[in-house]
Structures are given as C-alpha cells and as structure tokens.
C-alpha cells in the first residue's frame, strides 16, 4: 500500500484483498504463499516470516519466509524463500533459542524496540551473530494462537538504515491479526482432518479394500490406490467416462440401480440401505465383492461435487498383509508359527502350507497344535477368523 494519495476506496480494496489472501492461506499447497508477499509489501518490510512450528532439538520446525526482491537482479515472481536458504537454516539451527522476540502476548502487536533499546539490541549476541550479518534491525510482530493450542508467530523485519514501523503500519497489523487468528484455526483444523483422513485411508488400504467415492451425479470423485489399480485393469469393473461400469448388462444394471437409489435417498435426506452384489471376472479369477453405501453428510452439505455414495470392493485373490512380526507379538507366536498362521489365513491347507515353507507335514501339525494352545482356538476355521479380525494387517 502506498502511504500517500490513498482514497478510502483504495485502502478498503487493498485491505479486503489482503484479508482474502490470509483466509486463502490454509488452502494453498504452501501455506500463505500468496499472503506473505502481499503482507511484506503492505508493511514495506525487507522480510516477513511466519513460524508455524518452532524449531526444537531434532526438529527444524516450519518457518515460511518472503524476502523483498533484490532490485539489482532480474525481476522475480513473489514467492516464499527456499527453506534451505542460509538465513533460515542458521536461524533454525543456532539462533532461535537466542531470539528475544518470542512468546509475545497473544494478539498484541509489539515491536522489538518496545522490548529492547537500540543500544541493548546492538550489544546482544542475537544481533551481532544473526541480525547484523543479514542486515536486519527493525522487527514488528504478533503471535496468534488457536483453541487447539497451535501458535503462529508473524514477524516483519527491516534494515537498520530504514525507519521503524509507524503507527499506521502497527494499526494495519492489529486490524488483520483477528483474521490471521481465524485463518490459523482453519489451518489447524484442516491439518487435523487431513491427518485423520490419511490414517483411515491407510487402514483401508492395508485391509486391501478398494474404495471409490461418487458425487451426486454418480461421477467418480476419488479412489484409493487399490481401487485405481482395479479400474485400470478393467477386469470386471471399469470406468466409462466419469461413471463406473460393470461387465455384463444385468450386473451393471444392478449396480446403477443401487447407486441411483442411494444417491436419491441422500438427496432427499432419507435413510437408505446398503446394497451388495458380486462382480464376475475373466478366467479363473474370483468374483469381486462390492458394497454400495451412502456417505454420511452434514445437513449443510450441498452441491454436485459433494461425496454422496461410497463403493467398497474386496478381491479374494488379494492376499492379506498380516505382518509375521506383529502377528507373533499379538498372539504370542514364534516366527515359524506366525508364518504358518498367515499361510492358513490365505486359504492354504496344512499340507500346502508345509510345502510352501519346506517343512514336513509332521512339523506343521506340531506348530498348529502349539498355535491352538496359545490362541485358545481348536479349529483352523477359528484360527483364520481370529487372524482376519485382528489388527495385524494394519501394521
């Protein structure tokens, strides 16, 4: 923002744009990659830094920097600084602990000169070993905290030859601080939601279950890796345009009817039942098991791009991924016993399992007897059920 010849309309327009970029920040691939250059320009700073996770021993933290372009070099687009730049790297590794400008009262705009006089600052190790080599002196900052405990530190810095931050610039930062606090809360909530989503998605992948999400027009919205591979193979189920298709007219009609019924019920906010069907495949491959169910939706969710129906597909030919080590720990089995249990869970007979492990049938029977004793089951079917229902495949 220019400090002269500004009309109220231009100030409001600039401020609205700045606030919009702050709220856009949580949605960007690099958080606040658009807002930080705009904030740096608005406060005419040499550098603006946003600390999302403070550095600690063994953790370099998350620090985003935007630097004023060097007028001696060719014009470059406004972007965030490389996290491996010397200034950031040495600050994280050596000088964060010496920074006197930490733990500000949340929401209060403070300048470094409010804490230290110029004389005190110049005599400090922080200035002599960090600020002076990168020619920074004037600092203005604010800390924003969200209810979940995430603390973000926003700092603006200028060279020693430049004036300190004036009241207008302090007032501007005070004006945008409540918006920054809300944006940080949105960012933290999105991060938690993404982490939970990735955890659950990973668990479904480990269980070898293909997951397909459809929108209100039955168009493909998202798949997990197993579903994508299944659709790419196009054996039994495939994509035609943006819609799912099953080989065989009757089976495909049942799928489309099930999807249509569930989506219609979702749109009307009615309860719908889960639909299931078997999907035949070529050759000697086992049929796929397919379940269509509604996606729980908020009463406020609207729009044709919203998740509406979920399709879960199991492939009997995919081996479960139970870990020998984890299964052994869960059930108290030796490595050899855990191996045998896994092979039995895959559908092999005791004879086939002994052959696969190059052991005698007598040895396999002895191991199975020991497994029964340790797990408290008395039949192979019970053992298989125990393994398939265990958390071993999630490890």
**Three-class secondary structure of residue 120 per DSSP:** helix
User: What is the second-level CATH architecture of the domain 8-195?
Assistant: 2-Layer Sandwich (3.30)
Alpha carbon 154 to chain centroid, angstroms: 23
Alpha carbon 155 to chain centroid, angstroms: 26
Every domain of the chain and the residues it spans = 8-195, 207-314, 324-394
**Three-class secondary structure of residue 312 per DSSP:** strand
Distance CA 348, CA 237 (A): 27
Distance CA 338, CA 334 (A): 6
**Domain 207-314 identical in fold to domain 324-394:** no
What does residue 76 show for φ and ψ, rounded to 5 degrees?
-125, 150
The answer to whether the beta carbons of residues 46 and 202 sit under 8 Å apart is: no
Class of domain 207-314: alpha beta
Distance CA 371, CA 235 (A): 38
Contacts of 380 (CB under 8 A, 6+ apart): 344, 350, 368
User: What is the second-level CATH architecture of the domain 324-394?
Assistant: Orthogonal Bundle (1.10)
Distances (CA, A) of 230 to 79, 109, 199, 224: 40, 55, 22, 10
**Tens-binned pLDDT, residue by residue, of the chain (395 aa):** 444 555 555 557 889 999 999 999 999 988 999 999 999 999 999 989 898 877 666 666 788 888 888 766 544 555 565 655 655 565 555 556 667 778 889 999 999 999 889 999 999 888 888 888 888 899 999 999 888 888 899 999 999 999 999 999 999 999 999 999 999 999 999 988 888 877 777 767 766 788 999 988 899 999 988 899 999 999 999 999 999 999 888 999 999 999 999 888 887 777 777 888 899 988 888 889 999 998 876 655 555 567 888 999 988 777 655 677 888 888 899 999 988 988 888 778 899 889 988 999 999 999 999 999 999 988 888 888 888 777 776 66
Distance CA 315, CA 285 (A): 9
Q: Which residues of 34-54 are buried (b: 16+ CB within 10 A; e: fewer)?
A: bbbbbbbbbbbbbbbbbbbeb
Reference 39, options 78, 76, 74; nearest CA is: 78
Distance CA 148, CA 189 (A): 8
């Amino acid at each position: 923002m220019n400090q002269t010849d500004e009309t109220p309309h231009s100030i409001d327009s600039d401020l609205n744009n700045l606030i919009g970029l702050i709220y856009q920040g949580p949605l960007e691939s690099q958080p606040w990659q658009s807002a930080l250059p705009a904030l740096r320009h608005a406060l005419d700073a040499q550098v603006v830094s946003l600390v999302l996770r403070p550095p600690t021993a063994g953790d370099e933290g998350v620090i985003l920097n935007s630097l004023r372009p060097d007028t001696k070099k060719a014009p470059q687009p406004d972007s965030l600084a490389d996290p491996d730049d010397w200034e950031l790297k040495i600050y994280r590794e050596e000088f964060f602990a010496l920074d006197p400008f930490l733990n500000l009262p949340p929401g209060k705009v403070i300048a470094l000169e409010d804490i230290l006089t110029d004389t005190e600052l110049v005599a400090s190790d922080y200035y002599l070993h960090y600020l002076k080599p990168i020619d920074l002196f004037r600092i203005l900052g604010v800390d924003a905290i969200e209810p979940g405990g995430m603390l973000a530190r926003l700092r603006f810095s200028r060279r020693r030859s430049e004036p300190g931050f004036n009241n207008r610039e302090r007032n501007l930062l005070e004006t945008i601080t409540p918006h920054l606090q809300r944006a940080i809360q949105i960012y933290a909530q999105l991060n938690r939601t993404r982490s939970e989503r990735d955890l659950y998605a990973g668990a479904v992948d480990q269980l070898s279950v293909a997951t397909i999400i459809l929108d209100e027009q039955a168009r493909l919205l998202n798949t997990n890796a197993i579903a994508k591979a299944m659709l790419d193979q196009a054996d039994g189920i495939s994509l035609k345009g943006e819609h799912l298709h099953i080989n065989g007219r009757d089976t495909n009609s049942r799928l489309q009817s099930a999807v249509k019924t569930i989506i219609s019920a979702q749109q009307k906010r009615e309860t719908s039942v889960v639909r299931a069907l078997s999907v035949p495949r070529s050759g000697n491959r086992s049929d796929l098991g397919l379940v269509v169910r509604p996606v729980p939706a908020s009463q406020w969710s609207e729009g044709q791009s919203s998740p509406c129906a979920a399709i879960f597909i199991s492939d009997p030919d995919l081996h479960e991924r139970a870990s020998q080590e984890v299964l052994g720990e869960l059930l108290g089995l030796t490595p050899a016993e855990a191996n045998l249990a896994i092979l039995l869970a895959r559908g092999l007979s005791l004879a086939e399992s002994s052959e696969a492990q190059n052991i005698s049938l007598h040895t396999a029977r002895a191991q199975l007897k020991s497994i029964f004793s340790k797990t408290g089951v008395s039949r192979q079917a019970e053992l298989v059920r125990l393994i398939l229902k265990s958390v071993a495949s999630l490890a």
